[in-house]
Amino acid sequence: MWFDDVSLKRLSVIPSKRAKPGWGNASTLQLGKLSRATRFNGFALYEVLLGITIFALGVIALGHAVENCLNASTINAEEGGVRQILSNRMAEVQATKGVPEDSKEFKIDTNYGGIKVVQKATAAELTEPDNTLLNDIYLVTLTAQWRQGGIPQSKQVKFYVYRPG
């Protein structure tokens, strides 16, 4: 290896003598600078690994949030379908002439599975403030029962129907 005079003056080292480790020595200063640069390169690698880890955790958390939103949307759509079934059955009972059936049960197949609807009708036995009994008014109860993720669910609607006899 050849050294020119400028590089030797810059290093302030005499090539024939070995540099001894110490504090003001040029070779130790160069080694210190080199080791600091190496340490900073290693630190940058740790920073990149830490950044990738944080990013991966964020992506996983975002995936869980999207999954929860999809589950909530599915549950909401399923319950909306059940409300629509109960509303339709209520409209049928109100539009039908005659006294509602005392007890009736039927099953409806949907995209979310089977829904069992139970209809019960009883005399309302309502009274006026002067204790006069109101006849021909019936309390109809519609109950929808289904399973959502293996857990039994139900919704209920109660309404009055007047059928003069």
Assign 23 a pLDDT band (cuts: 50, 70, 90): low
Determine the pLDDT at residue 134. Answer: 87
pLDDT, position 131: 87
Between 21 and 77, whose confidence is greater?
77
pLDDT confidence bin for 164, thresholds 50/70/90 = confident
Sign of the alpha-carbon torsion through 125, 128, 132, 137 = negative
* Rounded CA separation 128/75 (Å): 42
At residue 28, does pLDDT exceed 60?
A: no
> Which pLDDT tens digit goes with each residue over 33-71?
555 555 555 678 888 999 999 999 999 999 999 999 999
pTM of the full structure:
0.63
Neighbour count for residue 117 (Cβ, 10 Å): 20
Neighbours of 100 (CB within 10 A): 19
Q: Count CB atoms within 10 A of the CB of residue 140.
A: 20
Q: Which long-range contacts (CB under 8 A, 24 or more apart) does 35-41 make?
A: none
Residue whose token pair is 């399973």: 147
**Lateral strand order in the sheet of 103-110:** 103-110, 113-123, 137-148, 151-162
Burial class (CB in 10 A: 0-12, 13-18, 19+), 82: buried
Query: Which residues, listed in sequence order, are joined to residue 144 by a DSSP beta bridge?
Result: 117, 155
pLDDT at residue 113, as a whole number: 86
Among 25-29, 69-73, 155-159, which stretch is predicted with the lowest mean pLDDT?
A: 25-29
**Closest by alpha carbon to 101, among 124, 123, 125, 121?**
121
Asked whether residue 95 carries a pLDDT value surpassing 90, the answer given is yes
State the chain's mean pLDDT as an integer: 83
Q: Regarding predicted confidence, which is higher, 135 or 27?
A: 135
pLDDT at 2 over 70: no
